[in-house]
Structure 1
Amino acid sequence: MKKTAVFPGTFDPFTIGHLSLVERGLQLVDEIIVAIGINPHKKTFFSLNQRIEAISKLFGQDHRIKTKYYDCLTVDFAKSVGAQFILRGIRSIYDFEYEKNIADVNRKISGIETFVLFTEPEHTHISSTIVRELLAYGKDVSEFIPS
């Protein structure tokens, strides 16, 4: 049976930290669906189409990685695409507490397991929020996002 993980986020923008998690996650599962969550209450810097296009282009023809979007609970989306796992990254202890609570609830209501990968030390300071702020002020973010 093919092992599939959903990697959810707004990915506004998709950073080198996200890229690292996908690459490392592929050592554990056969397929990863980079799932762009649509949150109508969250203002984004890049449009949904720009994010889909950028992530799809980044992974090219790698059949193990798909890019999709969703506007429901992550576990409902995961079920709809036949995923058995949710992939999450943790940068700090604060991320851990938040992710653990969500993972516990997701497992309880759906049976879908969450696995977490710790962010590589050289990427722990990178977040989409910080990159968006730098972009808003016209700063070069090339060292924080995939080329």
Structure 2
Amino acid sequence: MTKAVFAGTFDPPTNGHLDVIARAAAAFDEVIVAAGVNQSKQRLFSVEERVAMLTELVEPFGNVRIGTFDGLVVDYCRAEGAAMIVKGLRSGGDYDYELQMAQMNRKLAGVDTLFLPAAPENGYVSSSLVKEIAKLGGEVADFLPPSVHAVLLAKVGRGND
């Protein structure tokens, strides 16, 4: 059985994340979408809120489940018996950073990384940018699944938009 981990902060999950989840679900027997818990990072959504949003989004996929991790993703992969990490890439900058991480993860734990290039319509979308636009009153519906859009607007005080 091939098992992969798609790890991230998912603060909030975007259409780009959902695209990677769908493509990973088609490629692997089991995919674990793992939300990072690192307490030192400032996030808009709590881990419980991120897990709730992700749980709803992966419902259509019978081979995807949600998890959380704190620490090294390779340690989480080992604990889950996953030999592959899935990463979505939006740009060459993402590739430069993620390649180093992939090589380090392979050296540390023998865990390989599969890079999935972003679909063109998601190549410029990031959770950070979407949050900033939403906080400033801009429209972000095109970048988020509808359920996440509603939660984000409520979180930034625009719940009636």
Note whether the superposition's TM-score is higher than 0.5: yes
Question: Residue 104 of structure 2 aligns to which amino acid in structure 1?
Answer: V
Question: 2:156 aligns to what?
Answer: none
SS for the counterpart of 1:72 is: coil
Runs of 4 or more off by more than 4 Å in structure 1?
none
Deviates more, 1:107-116 or 1:127-136: 127-136
Deviation per residue, 1:12-65 (Å, 9 max, x gap): 000000100111112221111110012222111111111100110112263311
- Greater C-alpha Rg: 2
* Alignment pair present for 1:128 and 2:130: no
Pairs within 5 Å for 1:67-146: 67-146=66-145
| Distance in 2, Cα, partners of 1:77 & 1:93 | 27
* Greater per-residue helix proportion: 2
Moved more, 56-65 or 85-94: 56-65
- State the one-letter code of the partner of 1:116: F
Alpha-carbon RMSD: 1.2
| CA shift for structure 1 position 141 | 1.9
User: Structure 1: 5+ residue runs without aligned partners?
Assistant: none
**Greater relative contact order (CA < 8 Å, ≥ 6 in sequence):** 1
Q: Structure 2: which amino acid aligns with 1:123?
A: N
Structure 2 residue runs without a partner (length 5+): 147-161
Q: Which amino acid aligns with 2:129?
A: I
8 Å Cα contact 2:38-2:71 kept in structure 1: no
Q: Does residue 25 of structure 2 align to residue 26 of structure 1?
A: yes
Q: How many residues align?
A: 146
1:138 is displaced (CA, Å) by: 3.5
Query: If the length of structure 1 is used for normalisation, what is the TM-score?
Result: 0.94
* DSSP-derived class of the 1:19 partner: helix
TM-score, normalized by length of structure 2? 0.86
Aligned to 2:47: 48
**What SS is found at the alignment partner of 2:93?**
helix
Identity of aligned residues (%): 38
1:96 CA drift (Å): 0.5
